[in-house]
Structure 1
Amino acid sequence: MSTRSVLGLIYLVQGLKQLGEQPEPVLARHGLSLDKLDPSTRIERSRELRIYADLAESVRDPLTGLRLGGFYGLAGYGPLVMLLMTCATAYEAIQTGIRYQRLTYLFGTLRFEPGDKLSALVLSPMGMDPRAFRFRVDGEVSGTYKMVRDMQVGLGLDIHAERIDIPYPRPPEALEYERYFGCPVRFGEHEARFWIRNEHLQLKLPSADPNAHAMYRSMCDQQLVAQEASSETLKDRVLTHLGLFSGSYPGAEEVAKALGLSERSLRRQLGEEGANFRDLLAEARYAKARHLLKHTALPIDAIAEQLGYAESAAFIHAFRRWAGATPGEYRGR
């Protein structure tokens, strides 16, 4: 099954906390904790969706989903933002965004509908229970709106929606949506739509750069390949779960609970796959250690702390056992 960056979940939970909600109990039911999530790791898409549905049930303010869009920063989209900003025109940027939409935090799907005077960027939402549906639609519409507006601020452009359609019945708080988006909002539609004037789509982007665009396209293509990495075996699911953590790691009982198993079943099924929990924990730590040594300038004691070691000496001893070299020697290569 596909995976994607856990950063979207982190933004969501941080936003909920700042809005006065209490997402921690829901995360705990899924065996996770915000302060232990590593933003450089990936999460199974289906698992993230289950967490979102449970979070929607815990939200008290019906406008929370709408306001969450403000907590998704441009930097969190990585190379995708630069790919869009190096396009030649606004229309090309929209088409490129649709092509690479799996690199966003959407669960719905985007497409473009051309018209005579107005064209629409269409968001087809994923079907969910009514409360979770509104929560996800509001978050995805407001998040997409913020991403586009933030990019325009950086480029000095003003491409605004003439109207926005929302795919659920008009709520009592409908006027808040028009205040938030700054344009008319029509409810009760089948899909979400951002209606844009065609002349705005032809605006040239001042940051257009064909060479940089080719480089960022290659980076985005690599991310799409990583997203489709299979995690079908229990061993892979355990490794994916362990990879989410930084600072300390859960035990076998906690991991089993997070994956919907008893500890006994977890150990038995891993054994049938020729694996055991202790070795998988070491493998997860080794993978994270290699990443940090290669791609950061963190000192050895800081890396040891991220891997859950109380002393750097214990980490150095373990790494020598894994790699046949000390962390310093490995980094020096």
Structure 2
Amino acid sequence: MNPTIKDVAKKANVSIATVSRILNGLPGYSEDTKKKVTAAIADLGYQPNAVARGLINRRTQTIGVLFPNVSGMLSSEVLEGVERAAHEAGFSVIVCNTASSGSRTLKYLRLLQEKRVDGVIFASEDIKDEYAEIFKEMNVPVVLVSTASQKHNLPFVRVNDFEGAYRATEYLIHRGHRQIGMIGGSNYDPIAGVPRMEGFKAALTKHSLPFIDKMLVTNEGYRFNDGQQSLPKLLHQFPEMTAVFAASDELAIGAMSAAHQLRISVPDQLSIIGYDNLKISEMCYPPLTTVSQPLVKMGEKAGEMLTALIKEKELEAKSMYLPFTIVERQTVKRMK
């Protein structure tokens, strides 16, 4: 028979009310009493009833996380950080794969509303008005990660994408490259697509290198196949190119695959720098030089921010940009 809260109280020699207060993070007991109750819970293997606890504190101890691509390498690293912070704070995580589809996002938001989650983490997609309306209906804290919204006032955790792209391009320039191309995301993506392209162009301008359209190929996504298909296009329209800035590691590694098929040596004949520092970037050959986003830390900070808002430890969350670094590996050649 499963142990009950009454069994815990008896073993710890305290009242049921005291055990309940400790389980729900309420005040009114000493640290010594908390240790005795915690020990009793561990000894008995007691599992609190989440529904019963929810009736007391009006929480389900769950948060919802929405990703446009749960299977993507970037999403998995962000999720690792979110889950670490959530579990540390005593919350479970419901993960939803929106596949960048507006109708699917709305469906999952309604599901999370029905599940009465205590908060939502929203990743890597622009906030549409329909989403914001449901957030208001849910009346729970919402934190953005790897995205932001100019229209809707929601706290975020991310890296400055314009600055990251600027530094990546400047890194190539400082290594003697003057004919630099870019494999970018979408012109309609205000989160990562446009800022990274603008950062690329700004770095060229700063160093008196003209930008012309043939130096850039755009894509709807940031996946391996996009990079693989983009490099031949870019080489065809910009054959004098000596280096490429790719707006994601998957794009960069796709470009490296295409270069191999075209018998172009990386970095001897073509230098490539990526963006993200996914785990695969150090597994590929040659290992990829890239802009490192602290993806796990971003997820962890977003999780900490959300759980603090839920527990009312923080009344208002402050958005934060986390620092990036350039990780030097073996895909960029210094020009003489």
TM-score (norm 1): 0.23
Greater per-residue helix proportion: 1
Higher relative contact order (CA 8 A, sep 6+): 1
Which of 1 and 2 has greater Rg?
A: 2
